[in-house]
Amino acid sequence: MVTQKPAPKFLNLLRIKLPPGAVASIGHRISGVLMFLSIPLVAWQFALSLESPQGFAAAQHYLGSIPVLLISVILVWSFNHHLLAGIRHLLLDIHVGMEKYAARRSAWLVNAGALVLTLVYLVWIL
């Protein structure tokens, strides 16, 4: 007779060690949601900038504020991660990098690459 382990009573998600592919996949979903939620803000700023020269100046002033710059860093990470993870998923769909070692390496490259590109953007705006 097989005995089953009792189900965990408390699951601490911060203590679970996820594989890099899971981190890349979760990040891909989060980045997609963040980009989707930013559409109204981006559309509003674009419309404001096209209204008049005063609207353009107002949009420029708004985009130069510290909170908006921090949001832009998050959105740049979101774009970078979503792009890199999307390319990785497309390659996996055509069976490129399906071996365990290659899949783990590509997941690490996605996670690290998005951070490096975001740091480049952060240095550029400062």
How many structural domains is the chain composed of?
1
- The CATH number linked to 63 is 1.20.1300.10
CA distance 87 to 3: 44
CA distance 89 to 54: 44
Tokens at 105, concatenated: 């390496």
The three-class DSSP label of residue 90 is helix
Answer yes or no: is 9 within a domain.
no
Q: Which amino acid is at 86?
A: G
Answer yes or no: is 95 within a domain.
yes
User: How much is the pLDDT for 1?
Assistant: 63
Q: What is the pLDDT along the chain (126 residues), one digit of tens a residue?
A: 677 887 767 777 778 888 999 999 999 999 999 999 999 999 999 999 999 999 999 999 999 999 999 999 999 999 999 999 999 999 999 999 999 999 999 999 999 999 999 999 999 998
Among candidate residues 70, 71, 66, 78, the one with its CA nearest the CA of residue 115: 78
Tokens at 68, concatenated: 């908006």
| pTM attached to this predicted model | 0.85
- Please give the residue range of the domain that contains residue 47: 22-125
- DSSP per residue, 73-105: HHHHHHHHHHHHHHHHHHHHHTTSS-SHHHHHH
